[in-house]
Every structure is written in C-alpha cells, then in structure tokens.
Amino acid sequence: MRQGLVKLFPQLAAGLVLATVTAGAWAAWLGWDQQRDVQPDGTTTGPYEAWQVIGLVLTLLALVYGAVSRDYIAAVAGIPVGLTAAAYYDWSDDSSGLFMVGVVMVMVGSLAVTAGVAAVIACLTRDGRRSRRTA
C-alpha cells in the first residue's frame, strides 16, 4: 500500500502543478480580454481573438509534451481540470446561465484532445526511445 502511494504522489503533484499552470496560461492568454467587438453590421464577436487561442493551445501542447516525456501520463488530467476551472471562473458572470454549457464543452473537449495528444506523443517518444536503444 505504501509503495503504491509513493508512486502515485509524483503523478498527483504533477497534475496539481499542471492544473495551476494551465489556469495561469488561460489568464495570461485569454483572461484579460473581456470586451466583445462590435462589427459595422451590428454583430458582435469575441471576446477572444484567434491569436490568443492559438497561443493558449501552443502553450498547452508544450505542457502535454513535457508531462508525457517525463512519464507523467496520469498528470495530464491536470490540464483539463485547469482549463475547466479557468473557464468556470472567467465565464461565471454570464447572466443567461448558459455559461455552464460552455464549461462542460471545455471540460469534455479538453479531456478528449489532451488524452489523444498525450497518446500520440507517448507513442512517438516511446518509439524513438526503442530505436535509440537498439541502435
């Protein structure tokens, strides 16, 4: 039992760090932009610009790669947790109440994409390690 906890602790700690860094990345890339842009035809867009979302995605890709390359596979769950918490905090002032639909979509989507990207990275890095060992 004790040995299992010793192996689980680094995963949990890395997951907590990833969740915190992910929420910070959300704040850095998206959290400061809260104003919708009004177009000449009266429609509104935003509040986020494409470059902000792309920056967040690239930051999160680096986090996933760093965690998977250090064999913190279970810790990758911290990224969807951080995104979900940040989205909830950022969008909770919506008076319509529909923000929870968006938060759930962020949770499900980020979990699916993070798991898929982590699996691809794990396969690619494991294949590279095997080929280096045999060479």
pLDDT one-digit tens code per residue, 13-65: 999 999 999 999 999 999 887 777 777 887 877 788 899 999 999 999 999 99
pLDDT cut 90: percent of the chain above it: 54
**pLDDT tops 70 at residue 68:** yes
Per-residue model confidence (pLDDT) at position 114: 95
Q: What is the pLDDT of residue 132?
A: 47
Write the CB contacts of 101 (distance below 8 Å, at least 6 apart in sequence). Answer: none
Question: How many Cβ atoms are within 10 Å of 55's Cβ, its own excluded?
Answer: 15
Domain limits of the chain?
2-134
For residues 90-99, average pLDDT: 86
What mean pLDDT do residues 110-114 have?
96
Residue 61 is classified by DSSP as H
- Nearest CA-CA partner of 79 in 49, 107, 105, 48: 107
**What region, left, alpha or beta, does residue 71 occupy, with left being phi > 0 and alpha being psi -120 to 50 degrees?**
left
